[in-house]
Amino acid sequence: MVYEPDSIPLLYKSSPAEIISAPWHVGIYANYTGNFEFQQICGGTLIHSNIVISAGHCFDNPATGKKYPVSNYLVAAGKKYRKYEVIEKFQYFAGIKEIHTPQNYQAEPLRNDIAVLILDHHIQYTSHIKPICIEWKPYNEYLVQDRIIGRIYGWGSTSSDDESPGELQTINMLTIENGLCKRMVHPNFRADIGGDKFCSTNEENATACRGDSGGGFVIASGSHFLLGVVSTGIDFKKYCSDGFITTCTNIQFFQDFIKSVITKSREND
């Protein structure tokens, strides 16, 4: 029996989403205690039946600065409701076999914040589970232009008190050109806007928040394409508030890294 919990919007001004409208979106679940109490911590994007793109910082151990073991995680596809315990008709869980981050990944300030996950087996595609497209571009087209319309999905916090929704939410976002973004934010946060990222915002002040990291910034152009990975949020006054800017890792800057992981995965399959 499917349990349908009450839900509230992602911070505000978002809408509940059906997973069939974003069949590439997956949840990253973590268990740090060894007692099988898995909690959703991040999102991710399915790009192949056993490959997911997420954010590197989702897998950091703050105490050691190293990655947690892969055995701490599960990836859930086809899932609308956030809680691990909610049984759904189209859900599918897989373990993680490998977590790859760029060699120059760093946590502070956050740079090269991307992870390619190799799952421990292939997920069968259904109407509710499908990979997203990626359009690789030449180097002179890597930079993301201003005011591109995109969409993000997630179960992230709906307030500064870390209250999270019961079901998947979605909001529209607009990209902000990096130079303009740096002028918009407090100087303390400009180091977070590196060349490997782009900024985005919502004109009605809806926003991504904690727990949405790793999810895709998705654009629709005939098909759906992955443009970026939700990385950090920037606001000098209040966490997850009006004017909050979401930075996303620009996947174009990591196409050689992503392609090399995919190639090795297929060779070892």
Structure confidence at residue 54 (pLDDT): 98
* 3-state SS class at 216: strand
Residue type, 173: M
CB atoms near residue 21 (< 10 Å): 13
Sequence-distant (6+) residues with CB within 8 A of 85 are none
pTM of the model: 0.91
Structure confidence at residue 4 (pLDDT): 39
Structural domains of the chain, with CATH: 23-131+255-268 (2.40.10.10), 139-252 (2.40.10.10)
Section 7-29 average pLDDT: 78
Give the H/E segment covering residue 182: helix 178-184
For 177-207, how does the pLDDT look when each residue is reduced to its tens digit (9 = 90+)?
888 999 988 888 888 788 899 999 988 777 7
Sequence-distant (6+) residues with CB within 8 A of 49 are 122, 123, 124, 125, 131
Residue 109 preceded by cis peptide, ω within 30: yes
Percentage of the chain lying above the pLDDT 70 cut: 88
Q: Are strands 216-221 and 39-48 parallel, antiparallel or unpaired?
A: unpaired
Q: Are strands 73-77 and 25-30 parallel, antiparallel or unpaired?
A: antiparallel
Structure confidence at residue 204 (pLDDT): 79
Section 156-178 average pLDDT: 75
Say if residues 152 and 9 touch (Cβ distance below 8 Å). Answer: no
Using the structure block, give the residue that is written with the tokens 């996950």: 117
Section 24-50 average pLDDT: 93
